[in-house]
Amino acid sequence: MGGKSSVRPSLARVSLFAATWHVSVWGGWALVALAAVKVQPLMGLMPAAFWVIAALVLLGELRPVRTAGSYDSEGTVTSTAFVFAILYLWGLWPALLLQAVVTVTSELVKRKRPWIIFFNVGQYVLSVTAAWSALVLVGLPDGIVAAGRDLTGSDLFWIVPSWVIWFVVNDALVAGVGADVGHTFVEALFGDIFFYIVTSAAVLALSPLVVFAAQASGWYVPLLLIPMFAVHKTARISLQEQHKALHDPLTGLPNRKYLLRSLGDAVAQLDSPAFALALLDLDRFKEVNDTLGHHVGDRLLELVAIRISSVLRPEDLVARLGGDEFAIYLPHVSNARAAADVAVRIRQALNEPFQLEDVLLELEVSIGIAVFPDHGRDVDNLMRRADVAMYLAKELHTEVEVYDPARDRHTTGRLGLLASLRRALDAGELDLHYQPKVALEGGGVVGVEALIRWNHPERGFIPPDEFIPLAETSGLMHRLTSYVINTALAQVAAWRDEGFLVAVAVNVSARDLHGAELARTVSEALARHRVPATLLKLELTERTLMAEHSRVLDTLVALEALDVELSLDDFGTGYSSMFMLKRLPVSEIKVDQSFVSRLTRDGEDASIVRSIIDLAHGLGLQAVAEGVETEEVWNQLVGLGCDSAQGWFVSRPMPSAAATEWLRGHFSESDHASSRADDTGDLPVVRPEGEAVALTPLHLVAESGT
C-alpha cells in the first residue's frame, strides 16, 4: 500500500530476515488483535464519515493506479491516504483495524500466498503505528476528533513527520525481508527509493484534504472520487498508449520494443536463469502478397501468430518484429536441445496448410536459436546470433538451426582477422602462387593461374576459403582483387623481361563484377605494367556469371572492350545455357574437378566431361580440365579431345621464384626439343606470341619445381 512490494526471504539468509519477518507478522497481528478489542465497542458509534472513508480505503486498495512505465507492476494504491485520514481523525485503533481488514481482503482477491498476506498485514500495521508516534508527541493520541478541534495549517509540522516515519519504517521492513542472496540490506533499502518517495508523497498528501472534507460533512468525502476517477482515467489512457507503443497493431502480439525490454529485464537479473531466443522468418512470404494481395498476407500473419502462440507455454512470449519475422522468448529453457524441440513444434504447426481466399497455402519457415548465456550475455548479441542462425537455416534449407560460432562470419575472431587482412594488404604481405596450365597434346605452356596465399605472422597459413568470403562480405573484395591483378601482372612483366610470354588467369568474385571498378582496375593495371590484355584472363564461376548476369552485364561489356578474355570456372556445377555462352565474351570453359577426378571410375562423369568438351568446341571455345592428378586421367582427357589441363599431375601451385625456375626449365627443354622435333615426332604447340615450338610431354617432368 504505497510502499515497496515484499519479496520472499531466501532460506539461506539468517537473523535479519527471520527477525524482520517474525516481528512484522507477530507484532503487527498482536496490534490488530488489540485494535479489535479496543474498537469493537465503538463501531456502532462511529459517524457516517468514518464509513464513507472506510469504503474509500477498500476501493483505493482494490483499484490501484497503474501508469505506463511504472516501476511497480502492481500499481500505486490510494488507500493509504484514507487510512491516514482515519488515523488523524479518530486515532490509532480504528486505523489499524481497517488497515488489516482491507489488506487481507485485497491480498485474497489477488490470490497472494498466505505468507505474503501475513507479512503485509504486519508490515503495514507496524508502519501506521510508527506514524502514530508523531500524534502522541503533539498530544493527539486519539486524533483531532477526541481533542475537539479542527485541522489547521500548523498541524503540517507533525503531519509531514508522520509520513516520513511511515515511509522509513515501511521501507526498512520490506528491505529486511526483500534483501536476498547477492543484495545487501542497504541495496534493498535504497532500491528505486526516489520513485517510491514521489508516489508515496503524492498519495499521503491527499490525507489532510480527506480530513477537511470529513470535518465539513461526511458527504463531501465522496467528491474526492471525481479527481481520483480523473487520475485513473488518465492512467488508463497512458496504459493504452503504452500498449499501442509495445504491441503490433495487426496481430496484437508484443513488438520489437516490448521484446527487447523483456530480454533486457531477463539478462539484468542477478544470477539470471538460462533462456532461449528464437527468430522465425516465413520463406517466400512476399510471393503471397504479390500474388494474392496484402489483405491476404495480413490475414496469414494473424493466423501464423495464433498458431505459434497455440504451441507455447503461458510464460513464453511471441513477438512480431515486422514484416514476416517473429521472435519467441522462452524463459527457463536452459539448453539448445529443448529450444530446438519448441522450434520443431512451431514448424509443425505452421507446416499445416492455411485456407485463405479459397486457396490452400503451405508455408515454410526458417528458425534460428540462441541461448543465454551460452551464445551471448547481452540482448544485442543474442539477437544478432539468433539472426545468424536463422539466415543459416534459410540458406541451408534446414528450417531450424542453433547458433554455432564456427559458422558465424561475424564473430570477434573474424573481425580481428578482417583487420589483419587490411593490414596485410597495406603492407603487401599476401603472396601469389602460380599453377601452370598446359596443353594436353605436347605439354606446352598455355598459361598460369594466380592463386592467393596468406601466411599470417601469428596464425600461420590461412586458407583462402576462410579469408576470401570475409573480404566479400566486408567490402574489401575490390582491394583484394586489385592487389592480385597488379601483383600477377607485375610477375607477367618480369617473365616477359626474361623472354617468357606467359598469360596469367586471376579469379574474380561476384562482388567484383558489380559496378565499374573492376574494369577500371584492369585498365589501369595493364597500363601500369605495360602488359597486353591478351596476357590477362579473368576467371569467374558459372554460377556467378549466370545468376548475376543482368547485374554485371555492363562490367562484362567493359572488359570485352579492353580485349580481356573470360574463363568460365567450375563448369558443369551451374545452369548455363548455350544462348548465354554465345553472347558472353568467354574464351574457355574449365571442367570442374569434381567430374575430372572421377573420370576413370564413373561412366556418368566421363559422359559429362565428354559432353562439356564437345559443347566448348561446338561454340569455338577452349576446354580446360581442372584437378588432373594421375597419368590415367591425363591420357583419357587426351582421348576425349580436351585442349589443356591443370592439376597436381602437372604441378602444384608454386611461389613466384619456384614458378620462374619451373618455367626456365620447361622453356629450355622446349627449345631443345624444337631442334629435334622432326626426329622425335613431338607435336608442336603455340606460345602466346604465336611461335610454334615442339615440347616434351609435360607429365614426364610433372613434379619439377613443387
The predicted pLDDT at position 438 comes to 92
Count of H helices and E strands in the chain? 29, 19
Backbone angles phi, psi at 572, to 5 degrees: 105, -15
Amino acid at 252: G
Share above pLDDT 70 across residues of the chain, in percent, rounded to a whole number: 79
Average pLDDT on 176-191 reads 62
Radius of gyration of the chain (CA): 41
Q: Where are the alpha helices (DSSP H) in 247-293?
A: 256-268, 285-292
Would you call 582 exposed, middle or buried from its count of C-beta atoms within 10 A (0-12, 13-18, 19+)? exposed
Looking at the predicted structure, is the pLDDT value of residue 76 above 60? yes
Average pLDDT on 35-64 reads 74
320 pLDDT tier (thresholds 50, 70, 90) = very high
SS3 (DSSP) at 139:
coil
Among the residue ranges 202-206, 253-257, 366-370, the one predicted with the least confidence is: 202-206
Looking at the predicted structure, is the pLDDT value of residue 265 above 60? yes
Which are the contacts of 621, defined by CB distance < 8 A and separation ≥ 6?
581, 586, 587, 588, 589
Rounded to 10°, the helix 48-62/207-216 angle is: 150
Q: How far apart are CA 349 and CA 280, in angstroms?
A: 13
Cα 622 versus chain centre, distance: 47
Question: How do 325-331 and 275-283 pair as beta strands?
Answer: antiparallel
575 pLDDT tier (thresholds 50, 70, 90) = very low
Task: Cell numbers for 701, please give them.
Answer: 617432368
Q: How far apart are CA 124 and CA 621, in angstroms?
A: 93
Average pLDDT on 453-473 reads 83
Backbone angles phi, psi at 697, to 5 degrees: -50, 130
Q: 3-state SS string over 586-601?
A: EEEEEECHHHHCCCCC
pLDDT tens digit sequence for 534-569: 999 999 876 666 545 556 777 888 888 898 988 888
Q: For residue 525, what are the CA distances in angstroms to 183, 427, 482, 493, 688?
A: 67, 19, 8, 11, 20
Q: 3-state SS string over 49-96?
A: HHHHHHHHHHHHHHCCECCCCCCCCCCECCHHHHHHHHHHHHCHHHHH
Looking at the predicted structure, is the pLDDT value of residue 183 above 50? yes
Q: 10 versus 599: which is more confidently predicted?
A: 599
Map out the domains of the chain with their CATH numbers: 15-244 (no CATH), 256-407 (3.30.70.270), 432-646 (3.20.20.450)
Among the residue ranges 94-108, 324-338, 522-536, 676-690, the one predicted with the least confidence is: 676-690
Q: For residue 396, what are the CA distances in angstroms to 343, 389, 390, 547, 592?
A: 16, 10, 10, 18, 22
174 close to 120: Cβ distance less than 8 angstroms: no
Indicate the pTM of the whole model: 0.48
Residue with grid cell 586458407, as numbered in its chain: 463
Q: How far apart are CA 342 and CA 680, in angstroms?
A: 74
Looking at the predicted structure, is the pLDDT value of residue 4 above 70? no
Q: Which of 367-371, 423-427, 699-703 has the highest mean pLDDT?
A: 367-371
270 pLDDT tier (thresholds 50, 70, 90) = low
245 sits in which H/E element: helix 225-246
132 close to 169: Cβ distance less than 8 angstroms: no
Looking at the predicted structure, is the pLDDT value of residue 681 above 50? no
pLDDT tens digit sequence for 379-389: 888 998 898 88
The predicted pLDDT at position 578 comes to 59
Amino acid at 410: H
Looking at the predicted structure, is the pLDDT value of residue 315 above 80? yes
Average pLDDT on 288-293 reads 80
Rounded to 10°, the helix 156-178/207-216 angle is: 130
Looking at residue 324, the DSSP 8-state letter turns out to be T
Average pLDDT on 119-132 reads 85
Looking at the predicted structure, is the pLDDT value of residue 700 above 60? no
Q: How far apart are CA 503 and CA 446, in angstroms?
A: 7
571 close to 589: Cβ distance less than 8 angstroms: yes
The predicted pLDDT at position 322 comes to 85
Q: How far apart are CA 371 and CA 379, in angstroms?
A: 11
The predicted pLDDT at position 210 comes to 82
Which are the contacts of 310, defined by CB distance < 8 A and separation ≥ 6?
349
Looking at residue 642, the DSSP 8-state letter turns out to be -
Question: How do 622-625 and 431-439 pair as beta strands?
Answer: unpaired
Would you call 265 exposed, middle or buried from its count of C-beta atoms within 10 A (0-12, 13-18, 19+)? exposed
Q: Which of 179-193, 350-364, 640-654 has the highest mean pLDDT?
A: 640-654
Q: 134 versus 549: which is more confidently predicted?
A: 134
Looking at residue 5, the DSSP 8-state letter turns out to be P
The predicted pLDDT at position 652 comes to 92
405 pLDDT tier (thresholds 50, 70, 90) = confident
696 close to 682: Cβ distance less than 8 angstroms: yes
638 close to 438: Cβ distance less than 8 angstroms: no
Q: What is the DSSP string of 326-354?
A: EEEEEET--SHHHHHHHHHHHHHHHHS-E
The predicted pLDDT at position 125 comes to 85
